[in-house]
Structure 1
């Protein structure tokens, strides 16, 4: 099983790893596009990057970080990304992270322990007037299609579009409101996907029913909607 997480806009600074080496990244078939994107992003002057990526003055430091992609220190991808989902995942305490991967606008998809620098590029960004979807084409889908076994795709919509995989199990998180209706709430969606990923990280699942059973064993309320879709009710 491979669990594909969404990335986050916020990323931990620093790192103790050697600078970026594409040969150390998982899914090597993605390296040609990765190299092209990293070169294009790092070549942008700060003002140009802020304009192309739609960054405010408050985020100038992130545009500056993009200039150092080839020289900045790295850290494992699953530790680089921060925020609600990654707080719930608490990857540093997981005994085994080999079943975790992370979707990325810059790198396509990464293994949890792939060493990457801090960067700023979103799934909805345009770089030199080209969308990330057009740049990645079918390459992310093809890379994920080569994964043996079940793929649980927890990416958000923008990142699923960069590499959709029809056979993957997707998860929707619905919060129950006071009047009994349900709604997708961003905070709870991210938190509970992180909790689910943590529960699945060191387990075996060969089918959507296995995923549902593991979630239920962890105390979650789960509905199997179809052969490829689960709903967590929170």
Structure 2
């Protein structure tokens, strides 16, 4: 299985460590698209109107400034980089060694700056949304659509795509063909803030599970051990299965 997560706006930095090395990141088919963004993102982040162009609050000056140091700032393992509600619920640090190895294999974070990252990849803190239109590059979802479409199907193999992304990040890659029939969107009905928390718990449960379901119904059975779930068939051949996940069982 491949579990797709969104990034978080909040990120952890470090004061020491080696800088970004694109050649050491996983998914080497994305290297060119990653390299093409570093300069334009740094340039726009140094402009007086950077906050408007990046769609963030003008008060976030230090977070914006991080984008100007992408090639020199200490890099951080992706597992430690992202914070916030989803990642607090996932709580990677508390997983045992076996579950952590599964997480390293099964989890992929979709990133506006790096396309997709394994938990073991090391990158610097940055502030960039997939919704941004970067001058000289264009809309980021469009920038990543072809590279991700070429790279990710081989990563999925014969397994499921378990989609915990927000709609903004889902726009960067839509599974096609046979893969679309193994695409399951995790939905949390009636929730907003708690949706992120529940998706974090779902991801944690799947990393702790020894099972590797190959069908949407098999996934529903695995998660039904810890959650109330309802599986819905795709609305069309190009749409995902939808798995509604409710409050964890007590």
Shift of 1:19: 0.8
Are the structure 2 counterparts of residues 186 and 87 from structure 1 closer, same or farther at C-alpha, using a change threshold of 3 Å?
same
2-structure distance, mates of 1:91, 1:155: 18
Q: Deviations over 1:16-57 (max 9, x none)?
A: 542111112121111111111112112331524223112323
CA contact (8 A) 1:74 1:118 kept: yes
**Structure 2 stretches lacking a partner, 5+ long:** 235-240
2:141: which partner in 1? 133
CA contact (8 A) 2:231 2:244 kept: yes
2:237: which partner in 1? none
Matches within 5 A, 1:95-110: 95=97, 96=100, 97-98=103-104, 99-110=106-117
**Is structure 2 residue 218 aligned with structure 1 residue 231?**
no
CA contact (8 A) 1:46 1:60 kept: no
Number of matched pairs: 224
CA contact (8 A) 1:78 1:102 kept: no
2-structure distance, mates of 1:217, 1:56: 42
2:121: which partner in 1? 114
**Is structure 2 residue 161 aligned with structure 1 residue 160?**
no
**Structure 1 stretches lacking a partner, 5+ long:** 175-182
CA contact (8 A) 2:89 2:201 kept: yes
Matches within 5 A, 1:147-186: 147=155, 148=157, 149-166=159-176, 167=180, 168-174=183-189, 183=190, 185-186=191-192
**Is structure 2 residue 59 aligned with structure 1 residue 32?**
no
Are the structure 2 counterparts of residues 87 and 15 from structure 1 closer, same or farther at C-alpha, using a change threshold of 3 Å?
farther
1-structure distance, mates of 2:184, 2:3: 9
1:178: which partner in 2? none
CA RMSD after TM alignment: 1.7
Classify the secondary structure of the residue corresponding to 1:47: coil
More deviation, 139-148/65-74: 139-148
2-structure distance, mates of 1:21, 1:49: 25
**What is the TM-score with the length of structure 1 in the denominator?**
0.89
1:177: which partner in 2? none
2:203: which partner in 1? 197
Classify the secondary structure of the residue corresponding to 1:169: strand
Shift of 1:135: 1.5
1:52: which partner in 2? 53
